[in-house]
Structure 1
Amino acid sequence: MHVQPPPPRPLPAQDLPGLDSAEGGARTLTLGIGMVGGAVLLVVMCLLCSRVLF
């Protein structure tokens, strides 16, 4: 005897404008963190190179 499981429930509707705005905010945050990290790395590299040259 094979038991048939019930069909899956329908998924709720997606909030596409909300998803787009959340994705835009995440992109802005990611780019901001990347720029801050790049600036810190640039300062550290300049400090290291100045210690080697002088």
Structure 2
Amino acid sequence: MKNRGRVTAYLPEEIQTALEQWAEEESRSLSSLATYLLTKAVKDRQQQEKSN
């Protein structure tokens, strides 16, 4: 298994609640959903930077 970094984030309560609900709807843990969303955001940004 690859080494994985760890990140701590402090979220507004309404954002945390929305993310928890989203994770539950997708049968994911909150950590798994956060990993997916952050990975997608980084890949999207990298792709955007290549386009510029």
Please identify the structure whose Cα radius of gyration is greater: 1
Normalised-by-shorter TM-score class: 0.3 to 0.5
> Which one scores higher on RCO, CA 8 angstroms, separation ≥ 6?
2
- TM-score (norm: length of structure 2): 0.46
TM-score between the two structures when normalised by the length of structure 1? 0.45
